[in-house]
Structure 1
Amino acid sequence: MNVTRALARQPMIRFLGKRNTPSQVDHTPHAHPASPTHELPSSFKSYRQKAQQHGPLNATPRALVGGHIGGAAGKALGPIEAGKGMYFDRSELPERFQRLSWTQAEIDAIESGGASLFA
């Protein structure tokens, strides 16, 4: 019977140089580099006035029955409209960006697993 030696695990990655952490890190809030306005909102309340998520977030108290969305009809929450140059669905895009219809050859190729392309 052969005896196996226990080998020490050696990581495959090697770091160059000594590990060092910065002495000072700036933790002040700043706007995301890709934000459209490049500025932070002045308060959470002002942010909520402009934000939309599945409808306007600044609904009036009478539209929020029971203190939550869903307690009233969606019509009571106000209109949901996309901004200029924004679309909610792909079918609203110009025709060149819409989905193409499948051809019969493509449908046959998918149904046969690609075998119909070589038959």
Structure 2
Amino acid sequence: MALGNAARTPLIRFLGRRSVPKSLDHTPRPHPASPSGTLPDSFAAYRAKAQQHGPLGRASFVSGAIGRNAGASLGPVQPKQGEFFDRDELPSRFHRLPFTEAEIEAVETGGASLYA
């Protein structure tokens, strides 16, 4: 097969020239799955009520409650009744089991030792 100066013909055929629609509606509207079906008044109003791993409002940062004081000043860090911080504080039946030699070898060989 010669690789001469022959023009290369692409295998993909496009139907026409690219065209951007003349009128696109960029007005904000609520998501179809929105529970309220309405937009918030402003981003600041939304942010004041939003939750993501805790409040997103700036009040907790401005007041200096987090990051400016020592951790001890935030209060005692003791688990409530029936709560545990570590699995080792639970009864022994909930403790982690040690890995067996077969499990270690299976992980190290990517599972190939199970079929050898």
Larger Rg: 2
TM-score (norm 1): 0.49
